[in-house]
Amino acid sequence: MQGQFSVSEDLGLSNRFLLFRCTSIRPDVVFFSTCSGQSQTVMERWSGILKVPLFKGSRGLYKVAASLCISSSSQIPIVPSMNAIFFNGDRVKGTGNPVIERLSDLEKIGEIMVSKLGENVNVWVIEASKFNGPFAVYKDFIPSVNKWGEPTSYDPTGSPASNSLVSLLQSCLIEAKNILSSKVVEPISTEPPISSFSQPKTYLFGFSKGGTVINQLVTELAFSQVTIPSHSQNKNEIIPTSKETLLNSITEIHYIDVGLNSNGAYINDQDVIKKISKRVLEVGPRLRFVLHGTPRQWCDSMRVWIGNEKDTMIRLLNDVCKKSEEKLMVCERFYFANKHANMQMHFEVIEKMDIS
């Protein structure tokens, strides 16, 4: 087997763990072990495209690129440190631009996210189940969207986005387990946790129109009942299994060159932002908003509302961040600032974005 080996310390585990990574023609293999040698988990990575219904019996199918941590011995998914959930936008086809074509591929986006976040993470890249021509329509997540997938409002009633996301992740995990189990001759029924993580963190990413789903989730987070997780909820789970565990696990929210042909690209509701701040102060965990943008969206003279909405959201967040005891943070990152706006930079920001 040809490959390169590297060793580095996992600082997130207080220097107690060493990470060994082998890059080869096989799936990535990572060994996690304590320095005392008392325990060891060997991890590989499985990646593939899943086509699953939101609920059992649903007519529409969601296309999801999954890149998951699995045990090298049992070939079953194991608990990650984080679930990174990426909502994609409209379809762009026939451009003839190899950069756009490559960064329109769901699996490629998944690879990029793993490279940015690390091996001990599950990545889910979600495409809308319905399209009107090239326009993504996330109707299950945002009931108010029009036929072009543009939201007329963000209403937390019934928590449609968080409930839909929990159900979709469960469908994806079941399908991934079925695929993996079909390739194992003698599956092992038990698997020790990969680490001491209780509930994996959740990072949310919304690219282009995918940012509308992020807005809906933020609205639901703001108006959700503040609950302190019980001891029973702290068991190791690969994905959030309820709306409450999902919302409580969100620690980072990334907007990636979000824009619409109508209003609603960014949250401008002061009440939503204030409630987010109150929630973070009362129950935590810390929450960071990062807004990534390019001239393609933020400097569009034909759609000036996008830049205005972004500026308003940044201002509202900065106002509450000052009173949040550093539990709420916001960061704005602008890419390709000295270039003329074009479609390529809109996709290229996926690869260039700094999520540190």
Residues 324 and 284 sit within 8 Å (Cβ to Cβ)? no
Report the pLDDT value the prediction gives residue 58, as an integer from 0 to 100: 84
| Residues 128/149, Cβ–Cβ less than 8 Å | yes
Q: For residues 85 and 95, which has the higher predicted lDDT (pLDDT)?
A: 85
Q: What confidence category does residue 196 fall into, taking pLDDT thresholds of 50, 70 and 90? A: very low
Greater model confidence, 73 or 136: 136
Q: What is the pLDDT of residue 102?
A: 97
Q: What element of type H or E holds 258? A: none
| pLDDT, greater one: 345 or 234 | 345
Please tell me which residue, 93 or 179, carries the higher pLDDT value. 179
Contacts of 178 (CB under 8 A, 6+ apart): none
Given a contact cutoff of 8 angstroms between Cβ atoms, the answer to whether 332 and 311 are in contact is: no
- The tens digit of pLDDT for each residue in 143-193 reads 999 999 999 999 999 999 999 999 999 999 999 999 999 876 555 444 444
Q: Identify the band that residue 126 occupies on the pLDDT scale cut at 50, 70 and 90.
A: very high
Measured in whole angstroms, the distance separating CA 109 from the mean position of its chain's CA atoms is 11
Question: How confident is the model at residue 186, as a pLDDT?
Answer: 57
**Distance (Å, rounded) from C-alpha 171 to C-alpha 184?**
20
Confidence of residue 346 (pLDDT cuts 50, 70, 90): very high
Q: Is 176 exposed, middle or buried (0-12, 13-18, 19+ CB in 10 A)?
A: buried
pLDDT band at 31 (very low <50, low <70, confident <90, very high): very low
* Least confident piece of the model among 29-38, 47-56, 76-85, 286-295: 29-38
256-295, pLDDT tens digit by residue? Answer: 999 999 999 999 999 999 999 999 998 878 999 999 999 9
Of the listed ranges 1-10, 139-148, 294-303, the least confidently predicted one is 1-10
Q: What number of residues does the chain have?
A: 356
More confident residue, 30 or 110: 110
pLDDT at 284: 73
The reported pLDDT for the residue numbered 9 is 31
Residue 193 · residue 331 · CB < 8 Å: no
Q: What is the pLDDT of residue 21?
A: 30
- pLDDT over 60 at 13, yes or no: no
Q: Is the pLDDT of residue 200 over 80?
A: yes
Q: In Å, how far from its chain's centre is CA 243?
A: 16
What pLDDT score was predicted for residue 42? 79
Q: How far, in Å, CA of 119 to CA of 113, rounded?
A: 10
Percent of residues, the chain, with pLDDT higher than 90: 74
Mean pLDDT of the chain, nearest integer: 86
Q: What is the mean pLDDT of residues 192-208?
A: 77
Angle in degrees, 0-180, between the axes of helices 343-352 and 106-117, rounded to the nearest 10: 40
CB of 152 closer than 8 Å to CB of 33: no
pLDDT of residue 192: 42
Please report, rounded to a whole number, the percentage of residues in the chain having pLDDT higher than 70. Answer: 82
Q: What is the pLDDT of residues 224-252, one digit of tens each?
A: 987 766 555 556 799 999 999 999 999 99
pLDDT of residue 210: 99
* Mean local confidence (pLDDT), 41-67: 92
CA nearest 142: which of 192, 224, 234, 217? 217
